[in-house]
Amino acid sequence: MHGRSPLGRHARRAWAGEVSWLESCRVLVLVTPQAVVSHHTAALLHGLRIPRRFERLPAFHLSRPVGLQRPRRRHVIGHELLLDAEDVVDVAGVPATSVQRTLLDIAPDLGVDELVALADQIVCAHNYSFGRTVLPLVEIGHLRSYLARHAGARGMRKLQQAVALVRVGSDSTPETRLRLLLGRSPLPEFHCNHEIRDGAGTGRLGPDLACPEFRTCVEYDGGHHLTAEQQGRDHDRNFVTRSLGWQQAIINKHDMAGDGTPAITKIARMLVLGGWDDPLDLAGRSLLGRLGTRKDFA
């Protein structure tokens, strides 16, 4: 009743942007009994920030339980998976592998740092005394226990390395990359989810990364910081940060290019202002020719 040609046309329309991935997935599971959306396609359905090389693959991933024939259709990559009840969830009416199961399934295709960024997104949460509360997709303890129950899965060694580096509170892939860069440098330790309070104990700011010992924080400026509205908020944030006696380093993608020397140097200079002794003189390195500004600074 459901021939391959209509499905193929639907898939081509999806890649052309004429129909949504969600609609395409609905059609696929409808014509493929007992199948669930899985792997990179499930990651996209869940809104996970997978590497760009996987975002526009010319195929959909579908899985069936072990013992059933793997899905075989044009434009479909079929799998057989041993799935427990908690491994399948409903995403807007589409059966798909759960967030944690999806992470497990795509782990063999990702590097350690990519897995850290993905897991950071999954467990990200904020519970400051101000602003809105952000709940995780999966609580970090539950993610760790889930992965422990699948210790023999492919890619688990990389996943274990990644989970050891995961921290709750990174809001974006660049923030994760910046945190990993700092963690591998000689700089003091920086933390996510640190609340900066005023003299009365009222929470005022929640920077991307903070080193309370030397009252230094780091903010990553992504593309959204270029809007006039966001720039206004950033100016207010910068003013409050300085007013509370904290040093702040603002880092962008150019600072993190290559070995990330500009980012490390900028942050080191702020730490020195906060009282860090800088035994390797990281703050003393020249930034001449390394900054993406109209003028170069020493």
Chain segment 173-194, per-residue pLDDT in tens:
999 999 999 999 999 999 999 9
Helix (H) or strand (E) holding 81, with range, is strand 76-81
For residue 152 the two structure tokens come to 């023999």
CB neighbour list of residue 18: distance below 8 Å, 6 or more residues apart: none
β-strands 60-65, 76-81 pairing: parallel
Distances (CA, A) of 190 to 20, 215, 259: 40, 10, 19
**Count of beta carbons in the 10 Å neighbourhood of residue 24:** 20
> Is the CB of residue 43 less than 8 Å from the CB of residue 102?
yes
Name the amino acid, one letter, at 37. Answer: V
Cα gap 284→298, rounded to integer Å: 9
- What CATH number has the domain spanning 170-298? 3.40.960
Encoded tokens for 298:
């020493």
Residue ranges of the chain that CATH labels 3.40.960? 170-298
Greater pLDDT, 234 or 166: 166
pLDDT of residue 17: 55
Q: Judge contact between 230 and 224, C-beta under 8 A.
A: yes
Q: How much is the mean pLDDT over the chain?
A: 90
Distance, CA of 278 to CA of 269 (rounded, Å)? 9
Distance between CA 49 and CA 199 in Å, rounded? 38
pLDDT in tens, 249-298: 999 999 999 999 999 999 999 999 999 999 999 999 988 777 765 445 55
Q: What is the pLDDT confidence band of residue 124, given thresholds at 50, 70 and 90? A: very high
3-state secondary structure of 230: helix
Bridge pairing between strands 216-220 and 247-251 = parallel
Report residue 226's pLDDT band, with 50, 70 and 90 as the boundaries.
Answer: low
Residue 3 has pLDDT above 90, yes or no: no
The Cα angle at residue 202 between residues 197 and 207, in degrees rounded to 5: 40
Between residues 137 and 289, which one has the greater pLDDT?
137
Residues 23-68: tens digit of each pLDDT: 889 999 999 999 999 999 999 999 999 999 887 777 899 999 999 9
- Predicted TM-score (pTM) of this structure: 0.89
